[in-house]
């Protein structure tokens, strides 16, 4: 299928696929361990898909606003690589999946030298946040926000205060992880300051189209295909997309690689960032999650689309 034909067919079928996957939301539950997230609509499902000409297709509840949560980890990781370089980053986080839940601390104690297995589990992302350059928490958070605005092309992106506060007040597990990391010598700064920046970047509010645009830059190897500007070094995009395949859907990454076969990153607000290399950036939202913390209907619709359009890389 040529890309034009595929785009036309997507235009004709996207609504049908989203409608067909909506009933899957009944099999999931909206995250409530961050109390503010529990307010999200249980039965929503939306998708936005952007091509290299900047054309966008949208279907379902794509106007829904949600916080990035773990999707932000993709970009803090890239920013840490850009700030510190590969060697410094990989001195503090590993390159392997864990097979454990995203907020697990099991392997930090069990496996020497006690550094997080990868940058996309919570422990790894907290370590990465501590590497972002900046004089203080405000400057670090601001640099992350500016980077997200740049990649999304949306200068209006901002932190949703209610979600930030809600997580700040209830993140006992993340605090335990952070103190454990501090004790293992992984964190460079004060625990509370690092967590403050971490909660802020998790609480950046977006729509599916913002996520699709961010994904598009990764789909084009770090170049914004609309402006032609290189935003991220190619090597760092390659590393990031590899992690998206092996760890992006947490301990469901293997199943996702088999069923969908695309680099992806999910968040507990129900968002998924994924991409078809050299073609599309895709943003999905469906707040009802499966047991592993991934959008149940979001994964379903991507599975259907990948099968229909033969998108799997494998």
Ligand X SMILES: NC(=O)CC[C@H](N)C(=O)O
Told to check if 166 binds ligand X by CB under 6 A, we report no
Does the annotation list 17 as a binding residue? no
Told to check if 290 binds ligand X by CB under 6 A, we report no
In angstroms, give the least distance from the CB of 161 to ligand X.
Answer: 15
Closest to 155 measured CA to CA, from 215, 231, 218, 210: 210
Told to check if 102 binds ligand X by CB under 6 A, we report yes
Q: What angle do CA 227, 230, 233 make, to 5 degrees?
A: 160
Closest to 195 measured CA to CA, from 145, 136, 130: 130
Does the annotation list 122 as a binding residue? yes
User: Among this protein's residues, is 266 annotated catalytic?
Assistant: no
Largest Cα–Cα separation, the chain: 56
Of 93, 191, 204, 268, the active-site residue reads 268
In angstroms, give the least distance from the CB of 37 to ligand X.
Answer: 9
Q: Within positions 195 to 214, which residues make up the interface with ligand X, using CB under 6 A? A: 202
Told to check if 267 binds ligand X by CB under 6 A, we report yes
Q: What is the DSSP string of 49-81?
A: EEETT--EEEEESTT--EE-GGGHHHHHHHHHH
Are 265 and 272 in contact, with CB atoms under 8 Å apart?
yes
Told to check if 268 binds ligand X by CB under 6 A, we report yes
> Residues with Cβ < 8 Å from 8, sequence gap 6 or more?
none
In angstroms, give the least distance from the CB of 57 to ligand X.
Answer: 26
Does the annotation list 154 as a binding residue? no
User: Among this protein's residues, is 160 annotated catalytic?
Assistant: no
Of 17, 164, 168, 198, the active-site residue reads 198
Q: What's the token pair of residue 106?
A: 């099991």
Told to check if 69 binds ligand X by CB under 6 A, we report yes
- CA distance to 64, 78, 173, 257, 259, per residue, from 253 (Å): 25, 20, 23, 6, 10
Told to check if 167 binds ligand X by CB under 6 A, we report yes
Q: Which is nearer to ligand X, 69 or 118 (CB)?
A: 69
In angstroms, give the least distance from the CB of 229 to ligand X.
Answer: 29
User: Among this protein's residues, is 191 annotated catalytic?
Assistant: no
User: Among this protein's residues, is 280 annotated catalytic?
Assistant: no
Q: How far apart are the C-alpha atoms of 270 and 81, rounded to whole Å? A: 26
Q: Which is nearer to ligand X, 89 or 247 (CB)?
A: 247
Among 42, 94, 103, 255, binds ligand X (CB under 6 A): 103
User: Among this protein's residues, is 268 annotated catalytic?
Assistant: yes
Are 212 and 271 in contact, with CB atoms under 8 Å apart?
no
In angstroms, give the least distance from the CB of 71 to ligand X.
Answer: 7
- CA distance to 85, 97, 119, 250, 259, per residue, from 244 (Å): 19, 10, 10, 9, 15
Q: How far apart are the C-alpha atoms of 20 and 140, rounded to whole Å? A: 42
Among 25, 51, 174, 207, binds ligand X (CB under 6 A): 174
Enumerate binding residues for ligand X (CB under 6 A): 69-70, 102-103, 122, 167, 174, 202, 267-268, 293
What residues act catalytically? 70, 73, 198, 250, 268
Show binding-site residues for substrate.
70, 122, 167, 174, 198, 250, 268
């Amino acid at each position: 299928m040529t890309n034009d034909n595929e785009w036309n067919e997507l235009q004709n079928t996207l609504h049908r696929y989203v409608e067909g996957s909506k009933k899957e939301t009944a099999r999931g539950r909206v995250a409530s361990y961050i109390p503010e997230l529990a307010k999200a609509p249980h039965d929503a499902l939306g998708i936005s898909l952007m091509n290299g000409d900047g054309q966008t297709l949208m279907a379902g509840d794509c106007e829904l606003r949600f916080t990035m949560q773990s999707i932000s980890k993709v970009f803090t990781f890239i920013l840490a690589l850009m700030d510190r370089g590969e060697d410094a980053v990989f001195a503090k986080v590993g390159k392997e999946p864990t097979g454990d839940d995203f907020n697990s601390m099991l392997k930090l104690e069990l496996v020497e030298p006690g550094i997080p297995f990868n940058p996309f589990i919570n422990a790894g992302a907290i370590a990465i946040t501590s590497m972002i350059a900046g004089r203080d928490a405000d400057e670090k958070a601001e640099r992350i926000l500016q980077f997200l605005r740049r990649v999304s092309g949306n200068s209006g992106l901002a932190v949703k205060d209610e979600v930030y506060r809600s997580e700040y007040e209830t993140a006992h597990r993340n605090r335990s992880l952070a103190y454990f990391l501090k004790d293992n010598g992984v964190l460079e700064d004060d625990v509370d300051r690092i967590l403050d920046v971490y909660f802020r970047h998790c609480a950046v509010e977006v729509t599916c189209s913002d996520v699709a645009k961010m994904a598009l830059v990764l789909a084009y190897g770090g170049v914004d295909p609309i402006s032609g500007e290189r935003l991220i070094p190619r090597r760092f995009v390659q590393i990031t997309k590899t992690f998206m395949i092996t760890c992006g859907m947490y301990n469901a990454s293997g199943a996702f690689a088999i069923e969908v076969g695309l680099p992806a990153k999910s968040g507990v607000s129900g968002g998924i960032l994924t991409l078809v290399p050299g073609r599309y950036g895709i943003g999905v939202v469906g707040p009802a999650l499966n047991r592993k913390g991934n959008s149940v209907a979001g994964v379903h619709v991507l599975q259907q689309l990948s099968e229909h359009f033969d998108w799997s890389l494998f």
